[in-house]
Structure 1
Amino acid sequence: VELYHAGVGIEGDMQGSAWAALQAVAEYADHHRQTRAVQGRRMDAMRLESIWMGKAASMKRQALNAILGESQLRLVA
């Protein structure tokens, strides 16, 4: 909730918006969430893997789907 109101780049017209909600989840998932250490693997490599393809990516995808569902918007390519 704190990141929703005062996360990096959340200011002006963005405050209180769906974009602020998505950015808050992304900031948490990419920068604040703990990554579990695995012996023999570098922590920065594991974090990047999570951001691109793992739990952090999944959290951001779920947030986007929830926001789109609530707003009744849809993405088109």
Structure 2
Amino acid sequence: MTPSLRPIKRHRQRCREVRADMSDYLDGELDPSAAAAVERHARWCPNCRRMLSNLSRTLGGLRALRDQPTPADSPSSET
């Protein structure tokens, strides 16, 4: 591999590592050092920053749905 391609390969590898940690990061399950690494990488990597933002919105929406009562839970269904 040519020296000029090494930083690109390292960046792609780091992106894969960070993406693997994103869900745990958003759930608050990473240790402080790993969480800081995700934040640091997302600050300078636009692709990972966008993915983290999208995942955060998706998880937020799923959590909001989880907190909604289901028809079986609603008072009107208890007769």
Q: TM-score, normalised by structure 1?
A: 0.31
More helix by share: 2
Higher relative contact order (CA 8 A, sep 6+): 1
- TM-score when normalising by structure 2: 0.30
